[in-house]
Structure 1
Amino acid sequence: MSENKGDKIERVLGIYTKLMNGYLVNKAEEANNYGVNERSIQRDIEDIRDFMEGSSENSDIINSVIYDRIDKGYRMEQRCKMKLSNSEVLALCKILLESRAFTKKEMKEVVDRIIYCCVQKKDQKLITDLISNEAFHYVEPRHRTQFTDIMWDIGQAIKNCNYIEIHYLRMKDKKVVKRKVKPLAIMFSEYYFYLTAFIDNEEIRKGFDVINDSFPTIYRIDRIKEFKALDEKFHIPYSSRFEEGEFRKRIQFMYGGKLQRVKFKYFGRDIDAILDKLPTAQILSEENGVYTVSAEVFGKGIDMWLRSQGTLVEVIC
């Protein structure tokens, strides 16, 4: 006796709806509910699988029907085509915790969301356990400031080329100063997020170490006490645009200043660590394991780094 086509459609749609709503589908239970044998339910599930495979070709989401051996039933598993692997999520969480970029509350929320959104439910506890000790002993930055909303607003101003007005806590005298600037980029380095921006006011620029500096001023975002995006627009020609990637290659500890070239001898064993730290570095010579290195850098941050190397480095010029 042939099966009524309408009954099959209704049954398949019913099973499909259950799967999409997160329910477990048991073949024996569904066979009993619809008055058919388990082979019919199995064919229905295969039809649903075929439909999902075809519909995922033009979508960023892949829906798969899998058999759960523990719960003894079929369930829906949804994932992104560009989903991170478990090892990538673990590495990302480790990097985030090491960055110490956020308050403890913010860091926990960010890490938890990454694990929840990117890792299958059965593996979430494993990832959480692998980072639990670091998360428990996480030390938040001393400023304890939540600034992600301001950072997003700054990003919008950069995209739209709007001037911004900030009240900024200056470190050298703990004074809050008002600045109107052209925001250029948001950067991260050594625990902090920074805004790079141009100041138009020549009176203010007179107090700078490099008066005619054609490169941006650097502000730590957590020290921005007030922020306002202005309606006034600015324009920087494409040929003169700020390239944060090139800027980052030449700056240490986010200390601005004039462009210069340094030359030093390196007596350590791991020259790769030096070349990774200073992307513009070039090996000029090597003799008996001693390297002579030259690098193009901005500002005074390089002096701090060179001193931190102790006897491993000898500055030539």
Structure 2
Amino acid sequence: MYLSIDYRGNKGFRLLSIYERLNKGELLIKDKMAIEFNVSEKTIQRDIDDLRAYLSETHFSETEVFIKYDKSKGGYYLVRFEREWLTNEEVLALCKILLESRAFQKEELNGIIEKLMSQVVPNDRKTVNDIVKNELFQYIPVKHNKKLLSPIWELSQFICKQEIITFAYTRQDGIAKSRTVKPVSIIFSEFYFYLIGFMADDSKDFPTIFRINRIANLIGTKQNFNIPYKDKFNDGEFRKRVQFMYSGELRRIMFEFKGPSIEAVLDRLPTA
């Protein structure tokens, strides 16, 4: 049954409506709000003052979230401290990185970008969307056709619990073999997500690298493993020393570089 809300006679409904619209990033102009709610401008001003008091009481700092008046536009809007919300620039940068990675199937990517866009205030959302929509339309993911968000999360859970896992792994030549692994990290590199793990039988002293899209029938064994602190896997060091996602023992090499810019070499080989 449809019920008409009396905004004039019910201050609670009016405050909720104003707060919801501020949260959506709308610019609220006092005289227009007064006409819409059939109240005086003084009443709208009191509502805004009440919301300001509420925000001041319920947040750690008065500068964390507050209602500000824009003189040039003649309206009120909500300001959020950046640690809680992504800025337009941050959303745009993240969208560009995701599109360039080509890592996700289009359905998954659409969902992620849509949620990122919801962080942009409505007044600027069209601008940000216009910048990325053509790239999104032309987006071509890598060819494995596997959704990755669920397996990435599932593997992350096993890593946090330090639980040994088994799975079927299909190699590049199409041969599938069963693997039992101590998972320690997930890394992204050049289009693909990789699981880094040690073989459960300790047959290798160095970690083994598995492309996550080639993993199937993932099962936890309920067996936990422990790695001494001094031997714990260091993601940062691994990234600096392993560039092409092939496992094996580390080796020190010497090479001679001739070219216009050493920067490209140092970006690729940060330990050089």
Paired residue for 1:291?
A: none
**Do the aligned partners of 1:60 and 1:81 also contact (CA within 8 Å) in 2?**
no
Deviation readout 1:195-221 (Å, 9 max, x if unpaired): 01111336xx5xxxxxxx421000000
Q: Which residue of 2 aligns with 1:133?
A: 134
Q: Match of 2:185?
A: 185
| 1:31 Cα offset (Å) | 7.9
- Tell me the SS of whatever aligns to 1:22: helix
Give the SS at the match of 1:196.
Answer: strand
1:261 counterpart = 2:244:
no
TM (normalized to structure 1)? 0.72
The aligned residue for residue 148 of structure 2 is 147
TM-score with structure 2 setting the length: 0.83
Provide the residue aligned with 1:28 in structure 2: 34
Where does residue 39 of structure 1 map in the other structure? 42
CA shift in 2, pair 1:133/1:44, >3 Å: closer
Amino acid at match of 1:136: F
Aligned-pair identity in percent equals 38
Q: Which residue does 1:292 correspond to in 2?
A: none
8 Å Cα contact 1:163-1:229 kept in structure 2: yes
Residue in 2 aligned with 1:217?
208
Hey, what's the Cα distance between the residues in 2 that align with 1:60 and 1:108?
A: 34
CA distance in 1, matches of 2:265, 2:98: 23
Change (3 A) 1:187 1:29: same
Sort the Cα spacing of 1:86 and 1:226 in 2 relative to 1 into closer, same or farther, 3 A.
same
Change in Cα spacing, 1:113 to 1:38, as seen in structure 2 (3 Å) is closer
In terms of Rg, which structure is larger?
1
Unaligned runs of 5+ in 1: 1-9, 206-212, 282-317
> For residues 85 and 198 of structure 1, what CA distance do their matches in structure 2 show?
40
Q: 1:170 to 1:38 in 2, by over 3 A?
A: closer
Could you tell me how far 1:274 is from its partner in structure 2? Answer: 1.0
1:162 corresponds to which residue? 163
1:47–1:265 CA distance, 2 compared to 1 (3 A): same
Higher normalized strand content (fraction of residues): 1
User: Quick one: structure 1 residues 61 and 178, their matched pair in 2 at CA, closer, same or farther if it must change by over 3 Å?
Assistant: farther
What does residue 274 of structure 1 align with? 265
Distance of aligned partners of 1:68 and 1:60 in 2 relative to their CA distance in 1, 3 Å threshold: closer
Aligned partners of 2:55 and 2:62 also within 8 Å: no
**Structure 2 unaligned residues grouped into runs of 5+:** 1-8, 23-27
Query: Hey, what's the Cα distance between the residues in 2 that align with 1:131 and 1:103?
Result: 17
Match of 2:125 in 1: 124
Q: Are residues 1:234 and 2:234 paired?
A: no
Is residue 67 of structure 2 the alignment partner of residue 56 of structure 1? Answer: no
- 1:150 and 1:112 map into 2 onto residues whose CA distance is 21
